[in-house]
Amino acid sequence: QKEVEQNSGPLSVPEGAIASLNCTYSDRGSQSFFWYRQYSGKSPELIMSIYSNGDKEDGRFTAQLNKASQYVSLLIRDSQPSDSATYLCAVNRYSSASKIIFGSGTRLSIRP
Amino acid sequence: NAGVTQTPKFQVLKTGQSMTLQCAQDMNHNSMYWYRQDPGMGLRLIYYSASEGTTDKGEVPNGYNVSRLNKREFSLRLESAAPSQTSVYFCASIKGDIESTDTQYFGPGTRLTVL
């Protein structure tokens, strides 16, 4: 079992709709959770971080965390063509040091 | 601030050759990381360094060595390159403070091809 799992996609969503991206993790000791966006040929860039159960909203993005279910998700409202990218879920298994593990990413395509 | 820098940006090696990938950060971060990214595989952790003077294996350490030269610099060495090591390599850093809500910053990547 991979430590961090994501559906590889591609996920195709019409412009203006809500895109929903999901991630599960295996280590119950994980403490910090991140969503990165990566455009083709570029470095990952952080778009959301979440540390406690519940929802966290930032503009069109909402991250949701459920530690009991070991599940973290990202919602993108009013999807735009510029949101087309690969979205990477990352988990920090912080104990004595930050060991950050990534999922394989979900490719999101916003169709006009 | 340059953030995280990596050299070289591109490299082509022949099987069996060695090389060192360089990474430096100017954000006074404690922890640094090396990842590789293959198509459809996301980022896989090779090695990380929680603080100056310490290094630990990640998910895929075989065939690599690292050196945390000082607080700023963290290098990745391929002693005998293999075609399976063809990948994009990313260096990243994080403040590494247990009290902080850390953000990981990435370098631009090194595209390595082993023939």
The pLDDT mean for chain B works out to 91
pLDDT recorded at residue B98: 58
Q: State both tokens at A84.
A: 């087309």
Residues of chain A with pLDDT under 70: 1, 94-97
Contact predicate A68/A86, CB 8 Å: no
Range 26-85 of A in CB contact (< 8 A) with B = 32, 34, 43-46, 49, 51
- Which 8-state DSSP code applies to residue B83? G
What's at B21, amino acid-wise?
Answer: L
Q: What letters, b where the CB count within 10 A reaches 16 and e where it falls short, cover A62-96?
A: bbbbeeeebebbbbbeebeeebbbbbbbbbbbbee
Per the document, the length of chain A is 112
Query: Tokens 């954000």 identify what position?
Result: B27
Q: How many angstroms away from the CA of A70 is the closest CA of chain B?
A: 20
A97–B50: do the CB atoms touch at under 8 Å? yes
Q: State both tokens at A56.
A: 């966290």
Q: How many angstroms away from the CA of B59 is the closest CA of chain A?
A: 9
DSSP line for B27-39: S--SEEEEEEE-T
Query: What 3-state DSSP class applies to A61?
Result: strand
pLDDT recorded at residue B9: 95
Contact predicate A2/A8, CB 8 Å: no
Q: For residue range B10-42, list pLDDT tens digits in order.
A: 999 999 999 999 999 999 999 999 999 998 778
Q: For residue range B94-112, list pLDDT tens digits in order.
A: 887 655 556 789 999 999 9
Minimum Cα–Cα distance from A10: chain B residue: B40
Contact predicate B115/B12, CB 8 Å: yes
Residue A9 CB-half CA count within 13 A: 25
